[in-house]
Amino acid sequence: MPSERDLADQLKVSRGSLRKALVVLELSGVLEIRTSSGIFVAENALSNANRLPSLDVSGRRPLGIIQARRAVEGETAFLAAKLGNEADIERIKAAAQALEEGERRYDLRHPSDRQFHREIARASQNTVLGDMVRDLWNMQRGKYYQRLEDHFSTAEMRGYAIRDHWKILAAITAGDPDPARRMMHRHMDRIYNNLATSALELPKS
């Protein structure tokens, strides 16, 4: 099949939207997507195309979850900057360091990334928000999410995520609630943008 870029141009859609559709077709057995090789029609594509995909995503759209995380985690960052103590900040810092120094991959399933956000929620001193953060992260599971992230998670995204995390931590450490919320919003906007369009750069605010 044509390359992802050519397909997006032919169909006049963003590469992000195309990738999500390709992942659904891959999980449905219609296509095979081979890293560094291209997109291929699967051997049993015709028969598989007549079956409904079972994507175990509970009808929750990835971008909808990211939007919800933006709303909730902006507030946990705000409260962490107001209420977090030294022990909270040390736990957040340890998670940020673990992502930077650990295995060189980045995705929403990465345990150090998850821990960073969970520790901020813990530092907010609000158990309801903490439970919401946990539940939203748990929604980011299943085959569909795994394959989607396999296509979107890159070394470049990892670098941006690490830098975003340190900026969030700096605002929390300084006890600056509004910048902490703003930095978290930009971090989540970057993730949303990457999934939606494949872009990583954000407009300067």
Residue 13's pLDDT band (boundaries 50, 70, 90)? confident
For range 122-136, the mean pLDDT: 96
Rounded Cα distance between 50 and 171, Å, is: 52
13 DSSP 8-state letter? -
Backbone CA torsion sign across 163, 166, 168, 171: negative
Q: Where in the chain is the domain with CATH 1.10.10.10?
A: 4-49
pTM more than 0.75: no
Query: Could you tell me how many residues make up the chain?
Result: 205
CATH of 4-49, one of 3.40.50.720, 1.10.10.10, 3.30.390.10, 3.40.640.10: 1.10.10.10
**pLDDT tens column, 135-179:** 998 887 766 666 666 666 677 888 889 999 999 999 999 999 999
Residue range 193-205: mean pLDDT, rounded: 66
Q: What is the pLDDT of residues 38-87, one digit of tens each?
A: 777 777 766 655 554 544 445 567 778 889 999 999 999 999 999 999 99
| pLDDT level of residue 104 (50, 70, 90 thresholds) | low
Looking at residue 194, what is its pLDDT? Answer: 78
- Give the fold, CATH level 3, of 62-197: Four Helix Bundle (Hemerythrin (Met), subunit A) (1.20.120)
| DSSP string across 125-145 | T-HHHHHHHHHHHHTS-SHHH
The tokens for 119 are: 């520790």
**Per-residue model confidence (pLDDT) at position 121:** 98
User: Tell me, what amino acid is at 30?
Assistant: V
